[in-house]
Amino acid sequence: MVQMLCPALVPPFPETPLTWPGPGTTWLLLLLDLLLEQEQHLLHHGGSCTAQPAGSDHRGWRRSAYAALPYKRHQRSTQEGREGGYLCLQHPQPGPSTAPGTVLAQVPSSSEVVEAASREESQCCVDPLSAMEQEAEITQELGSLHGIPLYKSFIEGWPQVKAFQARPDDLLLSTYPKSGTTWLSEIMDMIYQDGNVEKCRRDAIYNRVPFLELRAPGETSGIELLENTPSPRLVKTHLPVQLLPTSFWEKDCKIIYMARNPKDVAISYYYFHQMAKIHHDPGTKAEFLENFMAGKVPYGSWYDHVRGWWEKKQEKKILYLFYEDMKKDPRREVQKILQFLGKELAEGTVDRILHHTSFQEMKKNPAANYETVLPALMDHSISPFLRKGISGDWKNHFTVAQNERFDQHYQELMAGSDLHFQMEV
């Protein structure tokens, strides 16, 4: 209904096209809110809608509406010359008199508004999904892919991932989950855009750096996003080294791997399991810590993951970075990346990259902080996606007994490896 009233009210970021019609009460409230907001425009333009100034802030009404609306990942129209995907509000069924996505230039009469609201209410009350049912549709069981625990939808998409055709100029960014993946992705996009901050706000980070193995109902898959991404591409993965599609090795692609100490990874992963609705309840921290040490979490054993990539770097073009080093001296680590890529940037550009990719800046950047993902997928009220961004936070969570047990387990599984981690900075 909102798009019917005023198609010009699509916010500058994130793009959120609204389709006709939607759930009755929510949309009627949103309609009244917009009518009040646009009163002067409607009076001065004879009932037709006009665009807001470029800098207008629609986040207030957008946020209030998002809290109650279903979501759907929707691929952008290629006819508009845009690539990637965005989160799009989608509704159960189209109205009988207006096709989905219809744009009307004129504001409807009051009788049309009442009729539409009544029709929406009746549609929504036929067979509404409860919050529990909606969450059940999102939450996934873990399956096993060649012995690695993985989301079942990812496993279903494995044939396409395995057959993925890398390009010679692809740059792969690989991490175990919660090891600074988004931070590294933002740094790399800034480098690829020569420090242009506005270009790095062109889209959400999950569209600028597509997630290779992502596949979920209602979502544009990582493979689809990558196929529509022009070269040179940045590609994100959490796959262990033995599952990486062979085309990356065949095309001799450069790879950057970033590892983080396991204690901080475990705590960060626990909070991610709480806020990301794809996961079941992780239980207590103590229970989750046991599962983490046993490798009974998505992507399996942290130990196998970091060691596998560490050993592979001896024979392939792999730059192996550490989260803790990046926290201590980000300038030095960015210079390592530039040298690895054979790229030079002016000091002022490096300064801009370091500022823009600091935790404080990324946390308030909607193109990087994942707050454009609706609460149906990620509940930031439970825990923000970018939570603390520090090293050594595990000390605020581990008991003395847990720390001693973890240290013993770490020594056993890392024995014989020359790979070492700093447990705090």
Instruction: Output the pLDDT for position 5.
Output: 39
Instruction: Output the pLDDT for position 114.
Output: 42
Instruction: Output the pLDDT for position 387.
Output: 60
> Where are any strands of DSSP class E within 49-123?
72-75, 85-88
> Where are any strands of DSSP class E within 251-317?
254-259
Q: Return the ∠ at Cα 25 (arms to 22 and 28), rounded to 5°.
A: 75
**What are the extents of the domains in the chain?**
2-128, 142-413
Instruction: Output the pLDDT for position 61.
Output: 30
Are the beta carbons of 258 and 322 closer than 8 angstroms?
yes
Are the beta carbons of 196 and 259 closer than 8 angstroms?
no
pLDDT by 10-residue block (mean), the chain, 425 residues: 40 41 42 46 42 37 32 33 35 38 42 45 42 56 93 94 98 96 94 91 88 86 96 97 98 97 94 73 87 95 98 94 96 97 95 90 76 63 61 88 96 95 85
Instruction: Output the pLDDT for position 329.
Output: 96
The Cα 151–Cα 141 span in angstroms is 6
Instruction: Output the pLDDT for position 355.
Output: 92
Q: Cα separations (Å) of 66 from 63, 181, 324, 374, 377? A: 5, 26, 36, 7, 12
Catalytic residue among 238, 273, 305, 356: 238
Radius of gyration of the chain (CA): 24
Are the beta carbons of 230 and 167 closer than 8 angstroms?
no
Place of tokens 């730059």: 319
* Nearby residues of 129 by Cβ (< 8 Å), 6 or more positions away: 70, 137
Instruction: Output the pLDDT for position 229.
Output: 96
Instruction: Output the pLDDT for position 370.
Output: 66
Structural tokens at position 48? 């037709």
Domain 142-413 is in which class?
alpha beta
Instruction: Output the pLDDT for position 83.
Output: 36
Instruction: Output the pLDDT for position 141.
Output: 77
Are the beta carbons of 317 and 252 closer than 8 angstroms?
yes
Q: Is 238 a catalytic residue?
A: yes
